[in-house]
Every structure is written in structure tokens, then in C-alpha cells.
Structure 1
Amino acid sequence: MAKTIKPLNPSQVDKAKPKDKDYNLFDGDGMYLLVRHSGTKVWMLRFKDDFDKVYKVKLGSYPEVTLSMAREKRAEYKRSIAEGKEIDEVLGRGEYGVKLENSLEFIARAWLDQYAKRKPLEEHTKHKRIRKLENHLFPLLGRYPINDIRPKDLRKVLNHVYEKSADNAQRIRADLILIFSHAVQYGYIEVNHAREMESLDLSAPKNHRPALPLPRLPELIRRIRSDTGYELTKLCLELSLHIFIRSSELRFARWSEIDLAKKLWTLPAKRNHVNGIKHSDRGAKMRERHIVPLSDQAVVLLRKVKKLGGSSELVFPSSYNGAAFLSENTFNTALRRMGYDTQKEICFHGFRAMARSALGECGLFQRDAIEKQMSHQERNDVVGAYTHVAEYLHERKRMMQWWSQYLVDIETKGYMSPYSYVNQDIEIMKT
């Protein structure tokens, strides 16, 4: 007597945890969930032909392919077999198979290889980019010929991804436009249907890389100063408010990059790798040397940091191992300890957003100078060709000193908007 299998429910699938060895959770009618020891979950379908030859088909990865979606795919396979179709036709093999070179996945991989060389992208960045497509796009559309894919198909996939992650949906939409453009360029298709997705309402998550409203800056400074954590972490956070560089640019810093006498920090395009420490060779994010003028306040903070670090060549050595760097989780952990929700209120990257907002609002500095200080890449190729060589160093020195003085004054005298701060003498004269 055949064993009765009780169908799975969504909760069982979601709560399935990895074990030392791979194992299966059966849904019945040949379908099961393969839970790998690595933690990945894959839907599989097992069936036999008329000669009892066993076939196994991958239906997709969970959670991208849900339980209900996997059952729909199972039903499609079963229906095709019941209709008497050849196994090769059912499995899309041989003369029935999609030509690999026409598939969305093949073209997407070719595009990324070319794109990574042109930018260029570091290997770990390229890997993250393709993994996003492998996890969210390829299971749903990857096997289809790109010339058969229409806006309605893209819309359906992007809406599905959006339900899981709005940020991933935004990024995949941007990549699809580039992938389809690549396909047009190489003659696979004549029309870039992904362009029609530009107007699709995929609002970015409101609290992605959240930042505090500027009026809460004095509160943030006070909380950093009164934090009970590692003293070097407090100094690092306070310094980051003044110079607002990225996490890896800050954490992996060496003293050889900093000239306190000239008040300049020169972030190299690439740093020397420290054995056993992942990504320790990361330099400036844009992979070009980036100069950070240091205000008087920033120099004072760095002198305190140097005194704490002793003879270490690392600017911010770990409290647990002086030969290693502060952990990438250090900053957000500290912010949570201070009482902030790093998903909704502020995360470390939000320091940059607050600085950019204030510098733009004050009206003192050119946009190009601000963007140069933020180390943002110019999206317009023509503009970028002219501005990438311009350092605006004199203006940026004034900018960084203004920003540091603004932080000091709003902490001691109370909050004032950047615009009002700049125009306070004028307002006083008017009265």
C-alpha cells in the first residue's frame, strides 16, 4: 500500500532549518523540498517514464518560488506528461530545448561579464550582482528566449520580487534595462521592452539606509559622546560625522594615508591586503584616489585616536585583536546600543545622507564640489569626463571646516537649519 503523504504548509517550508546533511520534505505527487546543509532550499519534482526511468527536475529555489508556485509548476509537468508529450519536450531538451544563447540568463551573464570589465567591478561586487539575479530573476524568467519576453512578464516578476524586497526589485529593474540594451546592441532583439519598466511604480523602501532628520543631529552627537562602549568606537563614530566617508574606507584605514600636518587624508584606490581579513584591500569606493580635507576638529579627533591605538599602523584596530580592524557590524551595533533603530531611524551610512543634505541646503558650495567630496560618480558621461579630474580642493577644505564648525555650534547652542546658520548674521542685522 502506497504511503500517504500529508501536503506541506507554508509555515513548515519557511521554518525548515538546515542540518548536518541535506534532507527532503515531501509534498506529495513526486514533489519535495530539498533542504541543503548550506541553508538553501530547492523545489524538486521526481517522476518516471513508461520504462520506469527516473527523472528529477528542479522547479526553483525557495523563497523566490513559493509553495503554491512550485505546485503550479508540478501541475504543468504532470499535465504535459498526461497529454503524451515526449520527455525531452516536457524537459525542454534536444530539439525542444530553448537555445541557450538566446535565453535571458545567458545574455544576462554575458552582459555582466562585459559590464564588469568596463566599469570595472571588483570580483566580490560582480558576484553579489549575479547572485541577486540567480536568486530572484533566473528562476522565473532565466530559461526563456529574450525575444519572447514582454513587458507584462517583466512586470509580473518585478512585482513578485518587490513583495520580498523593494530594494532588490529596484536594482533588478535597473539591471534588466541594461541587459535588454545589451541584447539590442548584439542583435538578439530589436526593442528594449525593459525600458517600459522605468515608469513602473516600485517605490524604494522609505527606510533604506535611514538617516535622522537634521534637527536631531545635536541629539546624535550627545548620544555618541555618552555611549558606554569601546572608546575607539566612540571616536570613530564622532569622526565619521565630520568626514562622512564610507564604512570600509574608514575601518580599513592606515596611518600612512593621513597627513595631520597638512590636514589631508588620501584614500588610495586599493590598499594592501592583510592576511586573513576579508576585503581589507578595499580603498576608495570608486576605485580612484579620493582626498578628504580634514577640519581642525577632525584633526583633534584623529590625534586622540592615534594616542589610543599606540604604535599600530591601523587607524582603528579591533578591541579584541590589535592586528585586525573594527568589525563591519561595530557601528550599527553601537547605534542600537544608543537606542536607535538602525532599520528605521538611522544606520551608519545615514551619516553621509545627513551631511549631503546639510551641505546642499546651506547654499555655500557648488554641487560638483559637494559631489566630489561625497565621492559620488557622475552619471552623465559627458559631464563626468570633465569633472572627474577637478578636485575643487580649495572649496572642499572650506566646506569640511564649515561642516565641522556647524556640528560644534548646533551641539553647544542648539539646532539651527543650515540655511539659517549661514544667514544668521544677516538676520541679526535686519533686526
Structure 2
Amino acid sequence: MPKLAAPLTETQIRALEPRATRYSVADGNGLVIEVMTTGTKVWRFRYSLNGKRQPLVTIGDYRMISLRVARAKAQKYAEMVASGISPVATARRDRGAESKADVLREGAELYLAAQMAGKSEEYQRTTRRALEKDVLPVIGGKPIKAVTPDDILAICGTIKSRGSPKMALHTRNVVKRLYEYLIARQLATTNPAQVIAARSIATSDSRTRVLSPDEIGTMLRSIYASSIRRPLKLALHLLVLTMVRKSELVESTWSEFDLDNALWTIPAARMKKDRDHDVYLPHQAVAMLRELRDGTASRNFVFPTVRGDDRPIAKSTLNQAVKALGLDVEHFVLHDFRRTASAHLRELGQPSGAIEKTLAHTIKDTASANGVEDAAERRGILQLWADFVDTQIQGGRNVGTGPF
């Protein structure tokens, strides 16, 4: 049996320095790492077969094989030895399958294979998406050591031009972590993303994401085609149509609605302002709300929790529902629906003041805030927006959004 040894850590391995003669440090289960006089580190497997110590089996270069992967290979070879089989031929085939990472695409593949284990599905998805969508198509064919900060800045600039500064910052961070991994394995000497200040890419108030018409249609068709609960589908659709904040919708009560007059009055206390806010409902929203009212078991909340007590769903519920869909829509948050509506309504020629009032933004000129003309204008804006959204949904196949 191989001699027991205290398991190594990546930090310990990186700290191993070359000496006048090469030496080995054991990890356990027959796995050792050999440090050459040049500083190169090589994984090897130590074993005995039929009672005789055998020559070390080479697993591969530490720069190409992580500690986790090396342990998995050592475990496989140990099982072969326990069955009386020499692992030499298998190890030779395994080494032949390892390719040297010269260009960034190969380095990224090595990074994803070695570092994604144990990470959440969301972390893996966003990391792969950043690399495969924006980084590798542009610089994947460049030698790892030839990638410059200007390359990364150009990629981030392209992402920002799509209205996604936070995604640009995320992509810079993914490249930074990738190069930290490559440097640790001596495949790179400098980190081109390290020298780029995060604040030069995005700040906390720099979000400008606006969904395109196609993205609006894609998102809502995907929502209705999904398996999430019907009330959550309607909630997401209403969030788009009414232009309200997420908390204002999910915490709404039936007492706030006058569906016969297509009016939703959100109390000042919930708006955290000094006046109520009127939402002039388009006919599509009224139809959805009637469906919700007929199907709900709650006399109070429009979107009650399914746990049985009379409380609204959590504010995070809609976020979780959208994340679970894995939509093929560029990085966004639910609050972007408000900005999206505002941007498209301006393109449709609607007056900025009326749009701001519809969004419940504070503006200096409030003389007509409660006037009849103001109400008619805002009602017209929301109906125009709902019709515009319908047009985008109808751009794809029929997914049964409902009778409305």
C-alpha cells in the first residue's frame, strides 16, 4: 500500500522551489509531485505490483494538470494496481490526450476543465458565457503571452457599447481569474486584465441595459413556454407592461385595483413618497389581473405565497424564476424592464415628461400631475407600450399567453 501522506494544497505546491537536485513531495495514495532543478513540476504515481516496487509512472506537467485532476488519475491507477494491472500503458495514453496550451483558447479550456468543479451552475454558466461569447471569438487564437491590456479593453468596450457595462466588468474579472490560473501554472507571466481598473469599466450607477425589440419578444415567449407557475408568468409580463418596480408589483393588494376603470393606485406609503401613484392599466394588463383574481386563494395579495399563509411572494421570487429559465438574452436584471420601456417609448415619439410620470420619477413640473389631460396621456402611453410588447411577442410562435 502507498505510504500515507498529508494531502497537499495548491498553495503549498506553488510555493515549492527548485533545489540543486530534483526532489519529490507526496500527496497520498501514491501521488507525488516532482520538482525539477529548472522549477518545472511533474505529477508522478508511485506503486508496487506483485510485491515489487515499480518505476514511477508519469501523470503530467503541473502546468497542465490541476491537483484535483492529478488525484483522480492517481485514484484510477491505484484501482488498476489493486486488480493486478500495470497502469503504465493507460498513463501513456492519458498523457497523449493532454495538449500543450499555447494559445488562449487552449488555456481557457484547461482552466474550465480544472477550475469549474464545485462551482455553482450559475457561476459556471456566466464564466463560460463570458469566455465563449466575447473573449475567445476575438483573441482565442492569440498566444497566451501575447494578449495585452488593450485587447481586454477593446472587448470590454464592445460589451459596453451593447449597453451592458456590468457584463463588461464581469468579463474583465473572468479574464483576470483565468490569467491568475495560467500564471500559477507558468503558462503566462503577466495578467493583462490585472492592470485595468474596475472603475474604468463600470461603476455602481452605470447600468444602461435596454432590451431590444427582439429580446423583449424572445424573453416573453420563453417565459410563457416554460414550466414556471402561471401566476409568475403573468407577474413577469405585468412587470414589463406596467413599468412599475418589482416590489410595487409583488406586494400589491387587490384593494389597490379598480379593474372596471382599468386603474391601479399604489399608496404613497408603498411608493415611499408623499403621494399615491396611479397606473393606468392597458387592456392586456386588466385581462391578466382578472385571471389572477379568479384563480387566487388570497383575498388580500395579488401574488400570494404558495405556503398557505396570506403573504406575498418574496421579492427574489421573480429573479429566481428568470434565472431558472436560462434565457439566451444578454445579461440583464428585472429593473432593466423600466429603462427598456422608457427608451422605446421615447423612440416612439412619446413626451419625456409623461414617461417620467408614468415611471413615478420626481420631476420639477408637477402642475398637471393630477389633471385629466395628464391621466389621458399616461393611459395612452401605457396602452401604446402594451401594444408594442404584443407585437414583439407575436414575432415568434404562439406559446399560449392567454385569452388576452
TM-score for both structures, normalised by structure 1: 0.43
Return the index of the structure with the highest Cα Rg: 2
